[in-house]
């Protein structure tokens, strides 16, 4: 038993038997299986003392499991009164999932006050295949709600817990059916023959359920505040905090070969950007003082530094390129750009270069390029996104460099899109430009990269402010 085998739990099991919440015979479960034992916890609504006992046990159980959550949702319909009592006792707001959306009014499927990124604990009475919990999880996640844990009263031990776990939800059961039967047998409420028959049935009748596909959440409709809660990357969270506090989604590409020009541009545009992007290997007069000055400006104006290195080698080589050489990129660049050509080892190699440093660092993987005639194919883009979702180092990935709205679906990842310019003429070398509004609303950019449109302006500060305003307005229109 997950919970302590206390007298209170024994009392609850016996009371459930006494009020006929456990029936023996021949019954059919929701999953279609025939069963010699049926749990009907709906009857507890007629027994307030049993309801209160169960609610108190669940309250203690939730605390013992150290589950963190902001809302409670009972699986409709039997678990609703249980969840309601738990919500009241814990003073946690409750959500209600409808089995079908209303055809009138708000037409909501999830009732309650919540925001994308909020966490929710699911309460269920019985699990067999786990399908009811998975349906609830799917509908909650479709609203951007985070679901990591489910509390169930009785686990029939027929595969439901494993099905739910495969869908990314931890299952905590107050009773397992074998333990429940043991309590009833010890209290002489059932005999050995009954226990044996039910145990054999459970062993020979395991339920199965197909793993549900994750619901598609339109990240472009979520606010940066909501996305902050959904991000798994520590450096992405820092970047989102900057974006929110400064109200800017502008990245300045400081692609100059003179340190003085880069520093002047960083100081002038600094108040209006969230990221300053460098190409450190094109600088003619690189030196350590430049790095100290640039990091000081980043601290002064509260922006992150991204080195657009586009790492693309094997793990050991990129580790040396990142942490060693004359540039020591890992020491000062909060973010770097990376190709996924060499697979998962490239992320591990970069992380190894940090040598356990406490500094927050991360990468943007390149899934698409803004240059005309790019050889990156759709299959390469798809493989890059699969790498992000499957890699054990996924928390090192802050975002994706791409040009297409549908590439980044995970709302915790940021889309960085180059090629933004108010004047959309090309540069004659294959670079294609799009207006701030188009980049944000049509291409789905969370952060737009502007280079020469700002660097070549007579007034860098005023031009950076203009880009900042246009990009932020486009973002606000996108989410509304």
Active site residues per annotation: 310
336 pairs with which residues across the strands?
307, 363
Name, in order, each residue with C-beta under 8 angstroms of 20's C-beta and a sequence gap of 6 or more: 40, 43
CA separation (Å) from 33 to 50, 201, 365? Answer: 28, 11, 47
Contact predicate 479/220, CB 8 Å: yes
Number of other residues whose CB lies within 10 A of the CB of residue 106: 8
Max Cα-Cα span within the chain: 91
The C-alpha atoms of residue 398 and residue 366 are separated, in whole angstroms, by: 12
CA distance 262 to 247: 23
Q: What are phi and psi of 277, to 5 degrees?
A: -100, 130
DSSP-derived 3-state class of residue 263:
helix
Would you list the DSSP string of 206-240? ----PPPPPPPP-GGGS-HHHHHHH---HHHHHHH
């Amino acid at each position: 038993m997950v919970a302590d085998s206390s007298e209170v739990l024994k009392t609850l099991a016996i009371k459930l038997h006494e009020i006929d919440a456990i029936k023996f015979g021949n019954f059919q479960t929701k999953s279609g299986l025939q069963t010699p034992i049926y749990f009907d916890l709906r009857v507890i609504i007629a027994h307030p003392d049993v309801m209160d006992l169960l609610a108190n046990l669940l309250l203690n159980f939730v605390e013992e499991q150290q589950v963190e959550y902001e809302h409670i949702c009972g699986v409709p319909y039997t678990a609703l009164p249980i969840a309601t009592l738990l919500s009241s006792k814990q003073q946690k707001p409750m959500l209600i999932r409808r089995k079908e959306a209303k055809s009138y009014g708000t037409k909501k499927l999830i009732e309650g006050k919540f925001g994308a990124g909020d966490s929710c604990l699911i309460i269920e009475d019985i699990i067999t295949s786990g399908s009811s919990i998975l349906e609830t999880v799917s509908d909650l996640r479709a609203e951007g709600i985070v679901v990591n844990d489910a509390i169930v009263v009785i686990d029939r031990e027929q595969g439901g817990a494993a099905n739910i776990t495969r869908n990314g939800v931890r299952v905590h059961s107050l009773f397992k059916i074998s333990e429940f039967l043991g309590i009833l047998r010890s209290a002489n409420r059932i005999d050995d023959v009954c226990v044996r028959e039910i145990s054999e049935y459970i062993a020979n009748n395991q339920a199965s359920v197909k793993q549900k596909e994750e619901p598609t959440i339109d990240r472009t409709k979520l606010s940066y505040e909501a996305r902050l809660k959904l991000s798994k990357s520590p450096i992405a969270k820092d970047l989102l905090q900057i974006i929110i506090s400064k109200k800017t989604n502008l990245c300045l590409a400081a692609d100059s070969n003179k340190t003085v020009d880069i520093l002047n541009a960083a100081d002038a545009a600094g108040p209006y950007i969230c990221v300053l992007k460098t190409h450190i290997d094109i600088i003619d007069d690189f030196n350590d003082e430049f790095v100290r000055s640039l990091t000081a400006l980043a601290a002064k104006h509260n922006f992150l530094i991204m080195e657009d290195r586009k790492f693309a080698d094997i793990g050991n080589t990129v580790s040396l390129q990142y942490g060693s050489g004359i540039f020591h990129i890992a020491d000062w660049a909060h973010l770097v750009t990376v190709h996924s050509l060499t697979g998962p080892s490239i992320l591990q190699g970069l992380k190894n270069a940090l040598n356990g440093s406490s500094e927050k660092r991360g990468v943007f993987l390149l899934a698409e390029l803004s240059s005309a005639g790019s050889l990156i194919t759709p299959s390469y883009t798809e493989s890059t996104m699969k790498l992000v979702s499957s890699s054990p180092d996924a928390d090192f990935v802050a975002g994706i460099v791409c040009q297409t709205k549908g590439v980044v679906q995970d709302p915790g990842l940021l889309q960085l899109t180059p090629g933004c310019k108010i004047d959309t003429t090309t540069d004659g070398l294959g670079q294609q430009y799009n207006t701030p509004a188009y980049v944000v609303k049509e291409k789905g950019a969370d952060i737009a990269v502007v280079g020469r449109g700002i660097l070549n302006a007579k007034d860098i500060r005023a031009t950076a402010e203009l880009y900042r305003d246009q990009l932020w307005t486009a973002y606000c229109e996108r989410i509304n």
